[in-house]
């Protein structure tokens, strides 16, 4: 998907629909919250990367994999900058994203991509 204003809504819809199709509706709330945070960050890095010039043509990729008893979701962005969790400031509107990802997923991390950029992933355990 191209980084744009409705990218987060599209990612939430795809995540919710996919989990429902897989019979994993119980993961929908947590997974859509996490994917919202990951895609929000990916859009930010795709539209305003630093120090590189804008990468507006770099697509954001959302991937969902079911590997029982887990679901893995990953979001790529064009930035090579490692995600760094900060102490959440619950008064500010920013800075809580990775705290939310860490809180609602079983594990999370990131990997650099051969073509540049990175993929940030979160792992969820199913009831299987």
Each domain of the chain, given as residue ranges in start order, spans: 7-125
Q: Give the residue carrying structure tokens 């860490």.
A: 102
Question: What is the chain's mean pLDDT, rounded?
Answer: 84
- pLDDT for residue 84: 77
Looking at the predicted structure, is the pLDDT value of residue 55 above 50? no
Q: For residues 58 and 52, is the Cβ–Cβ distance under 8 A?
A: no
Cis bond leading into 69, ω under 30°? yes
Helix or strand (DSSP H, E) at 108 = strand 107-112
88, pLDDT greater than 80: no
8 A C-beta contact, residue 111 and residue 69: no
3-state SS, residue 11: helix
* CATH 3.40.710.10 describes domain 7-125: no
pTM for the model stands at: 0.83
pLDDT in tens, 9-51: 999 999 999 999 999 999 999 999 999 999 998 887 666 555 5
Output Rg (C-alpha) for the chain, integer angstroms: 14
């Amino acid at each position: 998907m191209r980084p744009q204003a409705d990218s987060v809504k599209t990612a939430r819809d795809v995540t919710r629909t996919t989990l429902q199709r897989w019979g994993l509706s119980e993961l929908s709330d947590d997974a859509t919250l996490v994917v919202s945070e990951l895609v929000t960050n990916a859009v930010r890095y795709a539209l305003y990367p630093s120090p590189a010039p804008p990468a507006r043509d770099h697509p954001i990729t959302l991937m969902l994999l079911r590997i029982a008893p887990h679901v893995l979701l990953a979001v790529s962005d064009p930035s090579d900058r490692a995600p760094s969790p900060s102490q959440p400031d619950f008064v500010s509107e920013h800075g809580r994203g990775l705290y939310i990802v860490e809180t609602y997923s079983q594990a999370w991390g990131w990997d650099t991509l051969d073509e540049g950029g990175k993929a940030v992933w979160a792992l969820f355990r199913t009831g299987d």
